């Protein structure tokens, strides 16, 4: 067993884990953060995507012990309880999802991507999200949600018009 | 698909790491980015007794240039390499290949050294290393040795690295004036392993090809140089007929494996197509303002939406 | 965020009430369920396709610290009631049934067949335990293909069946088949194959079973399309009274037909929890899901087509073989649906149909989104092949074949009336969405440049729910039940047996009920997923829009009448003068009279408890609850036409879909965004089937697509933006004209894409008689056509 200390969604957690425990299982089972979903356990579907030290990663491809000392954000940590982050709001407005199983992975990957590429267009967004699999939507509504969030972000950043 | 039981060590220095490997030898697996090793563990295809996690070895990360060569630390994350302006300028073939590795989340963790030490013949970096005659620096408790790319790749997922060694650095030659590169692959989907891929690096001098390097991924259990094609190309002026003959020579001697994604025959045909397209692209790159990166992935159902939505 | 009180919610893309929890990771999926003392199960599975089980030695596994129990096939036989697969038993498929046991006992019949279940403190330890279970197998020659199954010389996979033909079906004829073929200008013959592929929801199967010895109640947390069907399955095999099984389901991560009833593994887990007296959880991993959960669509067709020089298809004669795998379940029922649907919306005058269902050493054939879809594939492929033979435009050919909409409606040769079908309109609409002549010009220019573009279209109809048969007492899909109640807190509460797994029922049903009852959308609560609380029902067959939408519509009206009756006493007004608007009961035209619905509910609750002390009086019916049933009304068809433009790279075989359009008719739309999402998702699966997805077995029955590296799903770079236009529908019912849309996308997309690819490859003389076209296959087809002349 290995002792680890991880900051998750702003709170410090200590735990004792077997080395073989994946970060996805540690989050879900030890910390009860079940928002991160497990879809394949071999790093292809992206459902387990979280943000570690500022980068989107597949939590099924990290061991919990490797997150010792790291800063982790899961889908539960994007907005305070009851609130929605702008991307989540945009995805709600755009009817992005159906069954919701892939959703946290998409939300986290898109959050990381838009953070680094706020002016991305459709093609770049599709490529950036092509590592997240959705079986329900055919992706268009998800892309619509991300584009909407990007547009709103640009509008927010645009200089305010001066009153005449 | 839960991982089997493993012991775990997280050395803080390279010296500690090689001491551990000297002790455990082939009972240890070195854990770098984990993007290849962890799936193997989850599928219980890899059964090491101990994982030696070298993610703490920050001394092994970084890119530096010296004596016309670019040294890339083995623990350099793929996304860091992708963002490196030094690499974009000095090793454009590597820069062309990097965005094709998996997806962004994979490149967040995956490392240059990890990919090359894992040596999947369908991966991008082994073909790049083979094309450029990269040098592999390994270290053990007894010291360091340098292995040439031609000797590094021994078989499917097998390299010349001994069980008590870690890969610490990979050295690439810096591209000179007149260089042009292309990295193309045919994959079922964006981000997938290639069915067949091709790394091309050329140098044009006064309109003729003065240096030509071609290396395939996905046509054997190791990356394969198209030596016969290279011999043909050197000294010649680019032309469609030349590329056609180069494609024929490059693929004459290969006997690609067959799997769910393609027959041997299919891979051979695609390899020839990649040679034609890759040479054309690399020549274009060389022609325009010296070295320029030119990477493209041709894969299934890629979108080409002229009305790009914003 | 409060929805703005629109004129009506129905017909608007009301934002989903499911989304706040879905988007923030607060959904409750089966893997999220945790109970005190819970254990974890993993299965030992056969590596062989076919073998005898000589011995199972679990002693080393049992000795592993953390392993609590190991149960073998024999153990489970003793712990459960023998019998057939519960779903098969409930559906009453008829015909011979294969021996069925929860775990393999004396034989393993497909690679992945479960042989033992290990229960441990964690899934990690359970998998460790599985590795220590030593099973001694004797290899048996595998029956790895339908051809092998049809060979009488091969040993039977099931001794009790005698051979490997589980569904021998006699030939059926509709119309004058012999005469039609004899009199036709032309007869053509084709062999068409549809390949094995599968549902692959992002969430696999799973359950948490918890048996309480004291009360005798088995609680099953399930991922299912119907809690009652699961309940009955568990009761049946565990020998429990159905009332002693309580099934709970939360959010479900997709299913597409997979998660129906109770699978062998889920039943084994339930039995284990009862034996151990502790909750046991099983979450299928992706390898299990791909290998063992079930697969679909492996069908082959010998087709003869009788047609005129003018392109009118007069007759079809079809012989079908369906590979139902080992442990056949519902696959044996698929051919009869196909037979009924084969004429489609066309003027077909004669149909001969014969099918054979075989058993092989592969995973079971399960229902996958439009299980009968191959009938559309075969028919739409045949039409394109005929068009090529005759040199006719495929759109024109179809228009010549579409049955005109008449009154009384024309009847399919197989018996169903084509009432309200808008096939002609959908084909014409597609032709307006895509400028086909302009495309043909571009196609010719690009061919001259060595680029190969193609266009394909296909049309379909779906019985969602299908038309009411004239003179029939009951509707097209049986009865749908719903309980509606005005709860004490003022929430209009719907209890339905529907089990949404992406269909957004909690939003769509609330829209309908809110409109009919008169409360804001936020004042409606839809309760699903509790077998103690909801009436019988399940989600499937694209039924819910009509059946459940109708139950909600009529039920809300019935409840409103009841509420107004009660309110009439409270408000001392005639019920005829009362209405419910914006959440309040008021005397029509007198806004000052408004009493919030919540207040009415509170008064009713008080009246029920303290009879005589409510304003309402002692003889008033204060139970504000109704049980509604809906039989589908007049029902109707859904349908549409799709068109795709593709480019084929003839040097690599890669296909790019440049454009995809759909003109659809699913009746009145409850929520356009939900409808479009269903269509796009189905189309994505159809694209996946053609370009990427195959459940592959080798000649020895070894499964080769057990990870996502080999079973490839379409990504955001594989599915283009899909343009959808909604047709003006033909209303058939006075009130309920919503029709189902869940399966149509997946039915129409495969022939659309294949037709486009064949069109792109026309210069090479390629003809396509199969559905799976990975890049290597496309190059083979080109080379074969070249070689053939």
Hey, are the CB atoms on B273 and C696 less than 8 Å from each other? no
C94 and C108 both lie in a single domain: yes
- pLDDT of B298 over the 50 cut: no
> Which of B176, B192, B204, B199 lies closest to B259, judged by CA?
B192
Mean pLDDT confidence for B197-219 = 97
Find which of B300, B302, B306 to mutate to test the C interface (most C CBs within 10 Å of its CB): B300
**pLDDT tens-place string over residues C366-413:** 999 999 999 999 999 999 999 999 999 999 999 999 999 888 899 999
Q: What percent of chain C has pLDDT over 90?
A: 88
CATH number of C83's domain: 3.90.1170.50
User: Does C87 score more than 50 pLDDT?
Assistant: yes
Q: What's residue C1's pLDDT?
A: 33
**Residues C655 and C672 occupy one common structural domain:** yes
Chain C residues within an 8 Å CB radius of A26 = none
* Per-residue confidence (pLDDT) for residue C2, from 0 to 100: 35
- B58-173 has CATH 3.10.580.10 classification: no
Average pLDDT, integer, range B249-254: 97
User: ipTM score of the complex?
Assistant: 0.97
Question: What percent of chain B is predicted at pLDDT more than 70?
Answer: 93
Residue C601 tokens read as 């509910």
Residue C618's pLDDT band (boundaries 50, 70, 90)?
low
Going by pLDDT thresholds of 50, 70 and 90, the confidence category of residue C473 is: low
Dist. CA C516–CA C523, nearest whole Å? 13
pLDDT of the residue at C25: 97
SS3 string, B205-253, reads ECCEEEEEEEEEECCCCCCEECHHHHHHHCCCCCCHHHHHHHHHHHHHC
Q: Are residues C624 and C672 in the same domain?
A: no
- Examine the domain organization and report whether C457 and C326 are in the same domain: yes
Question: CA C502, CA C199: separation in Å to the nearest integer?
Answer: 14
Over the stretch B74-98, which tens digit does the pLDDT of each residue have?
999 999 999 999 999 999 999 999 9
Question: From 3.40.640.10, 3.30.420.280, 3.10.20.30, 3.40.50.2300, which CATH number describes the A2-77 domain?
Answer: 3.10.20.30
Residue of B nearest to C122 (CA): B2
Report the candidate in C203, C213, C45 with the shortest Cα–Cα distance to residue C126: C45
CATH 3.30.390.50 range(s) for chain B read 179-297
Residues C613 and C736 in one domain: no
Extract the tokens encoding A67: 């997150």
Domain borders along chain A are: 2-77, 86-157
Domain span including residue C51: 33-140+205-252+259-292
Q: Flag if B308 and A122 touch (Cβ within 8 Å).
A: yes
Question: Which value, to the nearest 10 degrees, does the dihedral of the CA atoms of residues B43, B45, B46, B49 take?
Answer: 90
Structural class in CATH, domain B7-53: alpha beta
| pLDDT of C583 strictly over 80 | yes
Q: Are residue C213 and residue C310 in the same domain, yes or no?
A: no
C131 in contact with B, Cβ within 8 Å? yes
Q: CATH number for the domain including C555?
A: 3.30.365.10
What distance in Å separates residue A120's CA from the closest CA in chain B?
7
Domain with CATH 3.30.465.10 in chain B: 58-173
Query: Does C613 score more than 70 pLDDT?
Result: no
| pLDDT tens figures, A72-89 | 999 999 999 889 999 999
Contact B5 A147 (CB under 8 A): no
C100 has pLDDT over 90? no
Judge whether C443 lies within some domain: yes
> Order of strands across the sheet with A55-58?
A11-17, A2-8, A71-73, A49-52, A55-58
Same domain, C754 and C783: yes
Going through chain A in order, the beta strands assigned E by DSSP cover 2-8, 11-17, 49-52, 55-58, 71-73
Per DSSP (E only), the strands in C379-472 are: 452-467
- What residues of chain A, 106 to 135, have a C-beta less than 8 Å from chain C? 107, 125-127, 129-135
Interface contact flag, C696 B1, Cβ < 8 Å: no
Greatest Cα-to-Cα distance within chain B, rounded to the nearest angstrom = 61
Chains with ≥3 CB–CB distances under 8 Å to C? A, B
Q: Are C244 and C82 in contact, with CB atoms under 8 Å apart?
A: no
Model pTM?
0.96
Q: Write down the mean pLDDT value for chain C.
A: 95
The verdict on residue C45 lying in a domain is yes
Spell out which residues of chain C touch residue B44, defining contact as CB-CB under 8 Å: 127, 131
Which element (helix H / strand E) includes C655? Answer: strand C655-665
Mean pLDDT of C216-227: 98
**Average of per-residue pLDDT across C427-451:** 98
Give tens-digit pLDDT for C713-738.
999 999 999 999 999 898 999 999 99
Q: Sorting pLDDT into bands at 50, 70 and 90, what band is C464?
A: very high
Share of chain B above pLDDT 90, in %: 91
Residues of B in contact with C721 (CB under 8 A): 305
Per-residue pLDDT at C407: 85
Residue in this structure with the two tokens 């599928």, named with its chain if needed? B43
Give Cα separations from C457 to C167, C232, C393, C528, C537 (angstroms): 33, 43, 11, 39, 36
- Does the pLDDT value for residue A162 go beyond 80? no
Identify whether residues C274 and C372 lie together within a single domain: no
* Tens-place pLDDT, residues A113-156: 999 999 999 999 999 999 999 999 999 999 999 999 999 999 99
pLDDT of residue C94: 63
pLDDT at residue C86, rounded to an integer: 85
**Cα–Cα distance measured from residue C788 to residue C775, given in angstroms and rounded to the nearest whole number:** 20
Tell me which residue in C652, C692, C694 faces B186 most closely, judged by beta carbons.
C652
Show which of residues 339-358 on chain C sit within 8 Å of chain B, judged by CB atoms: none
Q: What residues of chain B lie within 8 A of the CB of C657, using their CB? A: 301
DSSP state of C762: G
Q: Does residue C228 sit in the same domain as residue C341? A: no
C109-119 residue pLDDT tens: 999 999 999 99
Cα(C534)–Cα(C494) distance, rounded to whole angstroms?
9
Residue C3 pLDDT greater than 60, yes or no: no
Q: Does residue C87 sit in the same domain as residue C118?
A: yes
Is there a single domain that holds both residue C280 and residue C306?
no
**Residue C642: enclosing H or E segment and its boundaries?**
strand C635-648
Confidence category of residue C474, pLDDT binned at 50, 70, 90: low
Are the Cβ atoms of C253 and A100 closer than 8 angstroms? yes
Low-confidence winner among A19-33, B218-232, B263-277, C79-93 (lowest mean pLDDT): C79-93
Alpha-carbon Rg of chain A, whole angstroms? 17
pLDDT of C714: 98
Q: Are the beta carbons of C526 and C496 closer than 8 angstroms? A: yes
Quick one: which of C104, C102, C108, C116 has its CA closest to C264?
C102
Measured between beta carbons, the chain C residues lying within 8 angstroms of B301 are: 654-657, 687, 691, 714, 717-720
pLDDT value at B228 more than 50:
yes
Query: Inter-chain contact A138–C286, Cβ cutoff 8 Å?
Result: no
Of B2, B6, B102, the CB nearest to A19: B6
β-bridge pairing C39-45 and B295-299: unpaired
| Interface-testing mutation among A78, A79, A100, A149, with chain C (most C C-beta atoms within 10 A) | A100
Instruction: Find the helix or strand (DSSP H, E) in which B9 lies.
Output: strand B7-9
Q: Which of the 8 DSSP states describes residue B157? A: T
Three-class DSSP category at C404: coil
pLDDT at B242 over 50: yes
Q: Cα(C740)–Cα(C675) distance, rounded to whole angstroms?
A: 9
pLDDT reported for residue B304: 33
Is the CB of C705 inside 8 Å of chain B's CB atoms? yes
**Residues pairing with C187 in the sheet:** C306
* pLDDT score of B305: 32
Q: Distance between CA C289 and CA C713 in Å, rounded?
A: 14
| pLDDT, position B131 | 98
Q: Check B301 against C654: CB less than 8 A apart.
A: yes
**Residue corresponding to tokens 């991307």:** A87
Q: How many domains does chain C have?
A: 3
In this predicted model, what pLDDT tens digit does every residue of C495-526 receive, in sequence order? 999 999 999 999 999 999 999 999 999 999 99
In tens, the pLDDT along C647-662 reads 999 999 999 999 999 9
Distance CA C29, CA C20 (A): 15
Which pLDDT value is given to residue C617?
57
- C156 falls within a domain: no
**β C625-630/C590-596 pair status:** unpaired
Q: Cβ–Cβ of B5/C128 closer than 8 Å?
A: yes
Taking 80 as the threshold, does the pLDDT of residue B292 lie above it? Answer: no
Interface test with B, best of A2, A17, A39, A43 (most B CBs within 10 A): A43
pLDDT reported for residue C167: 80
Q: Check CB contact under 8 Å for B104 and A109.
A: yes
Please give the CATH topology (third level) of the domain spanning B179-297: Enolase-like; domain 1 (3.30.390)
| Cβ proximity of B17 and B54 under 8 Å | yes
Query: What pLDDT, in 10s, does the model give residues A18-42?
Result: 999 999 999 999 999 999 999 999 9
Tell me what the pLDDT averaged over chain B comes to.
93
Level-2 CATH architecture, domain A86-157: Orthogonal Bundle (1.10)
In this predicted structure, what is the pLDDT of residue B294? 53
């Amino acid at each position: 067993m290995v002792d680890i200390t991880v900051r998750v969604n702003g709170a410090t957690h200590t735990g004792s884990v077997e080395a073989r425990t994946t970060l996805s299982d540690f989050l879900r089972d030890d910390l009860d953060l079940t928002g991160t979903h497990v879809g394949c356990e071999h790093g292809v579907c992206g459902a387990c995507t979280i943000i570690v030290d500022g980068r989107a990663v597949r939590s099924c491809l990290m061991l919990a012990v490797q997150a010792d000392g790291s800063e982790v954000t899961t889908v539960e940590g994007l907005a305070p309880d009851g609130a929605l982050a702008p991307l989540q709001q945009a995805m709600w407005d755009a009817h992005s999802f159906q069954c919701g199983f892939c959703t946290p992975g998409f939300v986290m990957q898109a959050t990381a991507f838009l953070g680094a590429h706020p002016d991305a267009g459709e093609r770049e967004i599709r490529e950036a999200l092509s590592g997240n699999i959705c079986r329900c939507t055919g992706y268009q509504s998800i892309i619509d949600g991300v584009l909407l969030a990007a547009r709103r972000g640009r509008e927010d950043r645009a200089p305010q018009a001066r009153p005449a | 698909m839960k991982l089997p039981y493993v012991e775990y060590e997280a050395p803080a220095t390279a010296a500690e790491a090689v001491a551990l490997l000297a002790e455990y030898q082939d009972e240890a697996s070195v854990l770098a980015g984990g993007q290849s090793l962890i799936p193997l563990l989850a599928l219980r295809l890899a059964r090491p007794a101990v994982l030696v996690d070298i993610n703490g070895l920050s001394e092994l990360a970084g890119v530096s240039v010296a004596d016309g060569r670019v040294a890339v630390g083995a623990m350099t994350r793929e996304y860091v390499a992708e963002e490196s302006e030094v690499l974009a300028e000095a090793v454009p073939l590597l820069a062309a290949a990097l965005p094709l590795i998996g997806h962004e989340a994979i490149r967040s963790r995956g490392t240059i050294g990890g990919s090359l030490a894992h040596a999947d013949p369908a991966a991008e970096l082994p073909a790049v290393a083979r094309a450029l005659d990269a040098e592999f620096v390994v270290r053990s408790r007894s010291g360091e040795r340098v292995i040439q790319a031609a000797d590094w790749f021994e078989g499917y997922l097998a390299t010349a690295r001994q069980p008590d060694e870690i890969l610490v650095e990979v050295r690439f030659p810096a591209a000179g004036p007149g260089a042009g590169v292309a990295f193309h692959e045919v994959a079922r989907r964006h981000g997938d392993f290639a069915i067949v891929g091709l790394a091309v690096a050329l140098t044009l001098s006064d309109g003729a090809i003065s240096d030509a390097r071609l290396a395939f991924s996905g046509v054997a259990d190791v990356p394969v140089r198209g030596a016969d094609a290279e011999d043909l190309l050197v000294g010649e002026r680019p032309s469609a007929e030349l590329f056609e003959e180069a494609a024929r020579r490059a693929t004459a001697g290969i006997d690609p494996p067959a799997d769910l994604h393609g027959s041997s025959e299919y891979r051979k045909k695609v390899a020839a197509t990649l040679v034609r397209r890759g040479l054309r692209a690399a020549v274009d790159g060389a022609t325009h303002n010296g070295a320029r990166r030119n990477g493209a992935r041709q894969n299934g159902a890629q979108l080409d939406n002229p009305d790009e939505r914003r | 965020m409060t929805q703005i009180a629109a004129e009506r919610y129905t017909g608007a893309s009301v934002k989903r009430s499911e989304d706040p929890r879905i988007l923030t990771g607060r959904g409750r999926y089966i893997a999220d369920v945790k109970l005190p003392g819970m254990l974890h199960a993993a299965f030992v599975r056969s590596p062989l396709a076919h073998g005898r089980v000589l011995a199972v030695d679990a002693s080393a596994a049992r000795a592993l610290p953390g392993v609590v129990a190991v149960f073998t096939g024999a153990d489970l036989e003793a712990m459960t009631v023998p019998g057939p697969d519960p779903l098969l038993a409930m559906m009453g498929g008829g015909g011979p049934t294969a021996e069925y046991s929860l775990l393999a006992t004396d034989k393993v019949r497909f690679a992945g067949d479960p042989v033992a279940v290990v229960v441990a403190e964690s899934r990690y330890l359970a998998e460790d335990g599985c590795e220590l279970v030593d099973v001694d197998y004797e290899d048996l020659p595998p029956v790895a293909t339908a051809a092998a199954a049809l060979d009488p010389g091969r040993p039977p996979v099931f001794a009790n069946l005698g051979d490997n033909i589980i569904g021998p079906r006699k030939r059926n004829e509709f119309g004058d088949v012999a005469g039609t073929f004899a009199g036709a200008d032309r007869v053509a013959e084709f062999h068409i194959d549809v390949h094995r592929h599968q549902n692959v929801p992002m969430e696999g199967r799973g359950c948490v079973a918890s048996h309480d010895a004291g009360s005798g109640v088995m609680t099953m947390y399930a991922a299912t399309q119907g809690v009652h069907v699961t309940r009955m399955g568990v009761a049946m095999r565990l020998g429990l009274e159905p009332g002693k099984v309580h099934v709970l389901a939360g959010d479900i991560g997709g299913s597409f037909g997979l998660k129906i009833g109770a699978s062998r593994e889920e039943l084994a887990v339930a039995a284990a929890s009862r034996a151990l007296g502790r909750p046991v959880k099983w979450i299928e991993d992706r390898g299990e899901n791909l290998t063992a959960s079930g697969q679909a669509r492996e069908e082959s067709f010998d087709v003869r087509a009788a047609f005129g020089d003018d392109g009118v298809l007069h007759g079809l004669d079809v012989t079908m073989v369906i590979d139902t795998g080992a442990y056949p379940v519902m696959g044996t029922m698929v051919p009869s649906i196909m037979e009924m649907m084969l004429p489609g919306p066309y003027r077909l005058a004669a149909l001969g149909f014969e099918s054979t269902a075989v058993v092989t050493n592969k995973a079971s054939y399960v229902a996958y989104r439009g299980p009968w879809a191959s009938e559309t594939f075969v028919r739409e492929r045949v039409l394109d092949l005929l068009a090529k033979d005759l040199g006719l435009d495929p759109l024109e050919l179809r228009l010549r074949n579409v049955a005109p909409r008449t009154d009384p409606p024309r009847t399919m040769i197989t018996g169903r009336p084509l009432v309200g079908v808008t096939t002609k309109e959908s084909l014409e609409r597609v032709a307006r969405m895509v400028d086909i002549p302009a495309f043909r010009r571009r196609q010719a220019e690009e061919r001259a440049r060595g680029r190969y573009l193609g266009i394909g279209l296909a049309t379909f109809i779906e019985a969602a729910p299908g038309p009411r048969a004239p003179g029939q007492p009951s509707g097209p899909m049986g009865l749908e039940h719903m309980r509606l109640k005005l709860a004490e807190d003022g929430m209009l509460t719907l209890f339905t047996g529907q089990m949404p797994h992406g269909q957004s029922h909690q939003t769509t049903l609330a829209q309908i009920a809110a409109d009919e009852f008169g409360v804001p959308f936020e004042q409606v609560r839809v309760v699903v997923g509790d077998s103690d609380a909801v009436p019988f029902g399940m989600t499937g067959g694209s039924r819910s829009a009509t059946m459940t939408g109708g139950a909600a519509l009529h039920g809300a009206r019935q409840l409103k009448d009841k509420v107004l009756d009660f309110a009439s006493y409270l408000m001392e007004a005639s019920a005829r003068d009362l209405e419910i608007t914006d959440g309040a009961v008021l005397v029509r035209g007198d806004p000052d009279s408004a009493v919030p619905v919540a207040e009415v509910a509170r008064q009713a609750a008080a009246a029920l408890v303290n009879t005589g002390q409510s304003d309402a009086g002692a003889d008033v019916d204060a139970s504000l609850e109704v049980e509604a049933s809906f039989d589908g009304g007049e029902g109707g068809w859904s349908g549409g036409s799709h068109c795709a433009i593709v480019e084929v790279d003839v040097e690599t075989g890669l296909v790019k879909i440049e454009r995809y359009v759909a003109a659809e008719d699913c009746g009145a739309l409850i929520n356009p965004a939900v409808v479009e999402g269903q269509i796009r998702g189905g189309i994505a699966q159809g694209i996946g089937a053609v370009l990427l997805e195959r459940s592959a077995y080798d000649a020895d029955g070894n499964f080769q697509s057990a990870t996502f590296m080999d079973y490839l799903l379409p990504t955001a770079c594989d599915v283009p933006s899909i343009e959808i236009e909604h047709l003006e529908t033909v209303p058939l019912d006075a009130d309920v004209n919503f029709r189902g849309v869940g399966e149509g996308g997946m039915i129409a997309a495969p022939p659309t894409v294949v037709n486009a690819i064949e069109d792109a490859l026309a210069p090479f003389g390629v003809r396509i008689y199969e559905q799976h076209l990975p890049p290597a296959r496309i190059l083979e087809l080109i080379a074969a056509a070249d070689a053939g002349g």
